[in-house]
Amino acid sequence: MLYSEILRHFAVDQSRSRIGDRLMCHTARRDKLIGPCQRDACRAILQVGVLLLFVGSSALRGDEPAPIKVLVERDVPAPMRDGVVLRANVFRPDSGGPYPVLVMRTPYGKSGSGMARYVKAGYIVVTQDARGRFASDGKWESFVRAKTHDAEDGYDTVEWAARLPGSNGQVGTFGGSYNAFLQWRLAPLRPPSLVAMSAYSIPARYQDLEGPGTIRPGRRLHWWIVAMTPDMRRRENRQGTTARAAAQKKWSAGDSKKWLTFAPYLKLPREVFEDETAAVHYWLKNPHTDPWALHEGVKNVTVPNLNVIGWWDHCNGHMLLDRTMRTEAATKTARDGSRTIIGPWAHGGLGRRRYGNIDFGPEAAFDIAAYEIRWFDYWIKGKPNGIDKTAPYRIFIMGDNRWRDEADWPLERAVEKVLYLTSDGKANTPNGDGRLIQEKPSSDGADWYSYDPENPVPSLHGPRLFQIPTDQRPLARRKDILVYQTAPLTERIEVTGYPTVELHASSSAPDTDFFARLVDVAPDGMGRDVSLGMVRARYRNGVDKPSLIKPGEVVRYMIRMNPTSNAFKLGHRIRLDITSSDFPNYDRNHNTAADQNADAQLKKAKQTIHHGQPHTTRVVLPWIP
């Protein structure tokens, strides 16, 4: 696949379904819609300001004697300590109680699709627009800011929810991604009514989200342009697109081409970031700063958390939060009670079993909502449902396509398995002579390729721009990817943990990138990516210690790859791909000494990977015997 195909590949519709005020009935998986509520009944009830939602497929079929009714109150005001009013939708059972309350705070709009299932389980559910978003007052402050009102707003909202009519005073919080970020902001303040959390799919550090001194433009620019700034313009009566659906339509019709190839980022027009432009620019100019550092607040967290995440989630930096919770949280309940479930999923696709032609089997289909309800039933309602008996970590082993319980992460029993890169000098493409061997090469060797930022290796992650498991065969003809692989395996090899690559490389450029991708190659030649890691040369010693490289000089790089668990089966091959781009999953390195966020010049670079004596390059796999 050539770079010219990237824009076509990423210009298709990436929108999530924005259901808005239409409440839909759900099956066991809350993200799988089975049909709208009865139209006439909803219309009649909306006229009096109260919505009765008939839920459950059996109720719709008429098998039950009476439908379950959910009352919905819209735009309920919640005053914050500084007088700013935030607004929420409140979903509650039409009778009985008192009930515990589940709170979701979000910047994406509080429509509340799928909340009826939680109400059916015996909860009042609150979905609230974050400060400065949609119906809530105040000014929105994005997560690139080190100081926001998110913590205090979260605390005040939890205590407000505990006092709602029909509440029993006990509150849980839930939601993923940005909604999880908002939970981790409030939890260290210890609101007295908070009992448990389900905050998932958010990394501990902002640098874990974007990469070491890098930006992930495919996801990040789409997020700003489609999900965030339209409502900012609507609130300020500014010109331009003011609705997400319209922004998505423009993106799909051609805006993606304009924005994904724009350089440099510091010259992006104000319409991309609107009022957050200054905050974004500060971070671009100071990549060593971290506006999040969520793990630093864990020592003050007193309640247990449920994290559900995927091996391909670009937010899998959450693993640091999980480990920190188990060792540093403020209470034994929080330390011992927190749980982590890691499946073969991507961001926004938790519970899926298929990605394109890749099928992880029936066990991968996981009912997130059902598990969340079970989680809160134990911690808030005190139901003896066995949550306390589950393992701290439950991981999905790809290849075997099964679940396994673990007591720790990374696994203490993992053993380092070292494979060395070698070739006869022609490792380009899977048809080359690159090999992974167990013995250290006795003589020097090298392979080279040309990296052209005008024609980068395209990401294969699909139209939503989330990192997902992919078949690597569309890239097989590219000469700018070096490929090293084992002979067909004679035994199963399980890799669980963080693979690392010790890379010796030289470049004709003063700064560049190197990517390492671990691939599971089936006997039919299909190569499924397993893990990815990258390094930006100037930040090889850390984003707080930038240092250019000397062109032509051999430099040692350590690349820590994403966490994974994969069983390489009998007859499969273990493969390592080395290249210098993955665009637009990551931004292109311009191969210059300039600040590429401020300078648009692009240059080609000759990249040489050294292996053998004295510069061995190797991949270290966390092998589970």
In this structure, the answer to whether residues 399 and 255 fall within a common structural domain is no
Out of 388, 406, 424, a domain closes at 406
Q: Which residue has the tokens 């890749």?
A: 358
Name 311's Cβ contacts closer than 8 Å, sequence gap at least 6: 342, 343, 344, 345, 396, 398, 469, 531, 562, 563, 564, 565
* Options 136, 177, 198, 423, the catalytic residue: 177
- Please give the span between the terminal C-alpha atoms of the chain, in angstroms, as a whole number: 38
Out of 406, 438, 459, a domain closes at 406
Task: Judge contact between 518 and 529, C-beta under 8 A.
Answer: yes
* Options 26, 295, 347, 590, the catalytic residue: 347
In this structure, the answer to whether residues 448 and 332 fall within a common structural domain is no
Q: Catalytic residue at 313?
A: yes
Q: Is the pLDDT of residue 573 over 60?
A: yes
Residue 350 tokens read as 């938790």
In this structure, the answer to whether residues 324 and 263 fall within a common structural domain is no
Q: Is the pLDDT of residue 49 over 70?
A: no
In this structure, the answer to whether residues 242 and 370 fall within a common structural domain is no
What CATH number does the domain containing 531 carry? 2.60.120.260
At residue 248, φ and ψ (nearest 5 deg) are -65, -40
pLDDT at 289: 86
Task: Determine, yes or no, domain membership for 495.
Answer: yes
pLDDT at 461: 80
What CATH number does the domain containing 312 carry? 3.40.50.1820
Q: Which amino acid is at 65?
A: P
pLDDT at 45: 34
Side-chain-side CA neighbours of 436 within 13 Å: the count stands at 25
Q: Is the pLDDT of residue 481 over 90?
A: yes
**Quick one: three-class SS letters along 113-170?**
CCCHHHHHCCCEEEEEECCCCCCCCCCCCCCCCCCCCHHHHHHHHHHHHHCCCCEEEE
Report which of residues 37 and 374 the model is more confident about: 374
Element (H, E) at 208: helix 206-210
In this structure, the answer to whether residues 186 and 251 fall within a common structural domain is no
pLDDT tens for each residue of 91-127: 999 988 999 999 999 999 998 778 999 999 999 999 9
Q: Catalytic residue at 177?
A: yes
Pairing of strands 306-310, 358-359: unpaired
Number of folded domains in the chain?
A: 3
Q: What is the pTM of this model?
A: 0.88
Task: Determine, yes or no, domain membership for 138.
Answer: yes
At residue 384, φ and ψ (nearest 5 deg) are -80, 70
Rounded Cα distance, 379 and 384, in Å: 9
In this structure, the answer to whether residues 277 and 295 fall within a common structural domain is no
DSSP SS3 for 577: strand
**If pLDDT is split at 50, 70 and 90, which confidence band does 21 have?**
very low
pLDDT tens for each residue of 284-313: 998 888 888 899 999 999 999 999 999 999
Rounded Cα distance, 490 and 488, in Å: 7
Task: Determine, yes or no, domain membership for 33.
Answer: no
Name 181's Cβ contacts closer than 8 Å, sequence gap at least 6: 143, 150, 202, 292, 294
Task: Determine, yes or no, domain membership for 612.
Answer: yes
In this structure, the answer to whether residues 202 and 224 fall within a common structural domain is no
Across the chain, mean pLDDT equals 89
Task: Determine, yes or no, domain membership for 165.
Answer: yes
Name 205's Cβ contacts closer than 8 Å, sequence gap at least 6: 290, 292, 293, 294, 295, 317, 320
Q: Is the pLDDT of residue 202 over 60?
A: yes
Over range 468-492, report the average pLDDT: 96
Highest mean pLDDT among 28-42, 174-188, 453-467: 174-188
Nearest to 591 by CA among 583, 582, 581: 581
* Options 208, 231, 313, 447, the catalytic residue: 313
Out of 406, 425, 450, a domain closes at 406
Q: The domain containing residue 243 runs over which residues?
A: 216-286
Q: Catalytic residue at 615?
A: no
Over range 437-466, report the average pLDDT: 90
pLDDT at 68: 67
Task: Determine, yes or no, domain membership for 317.
Answer: yes
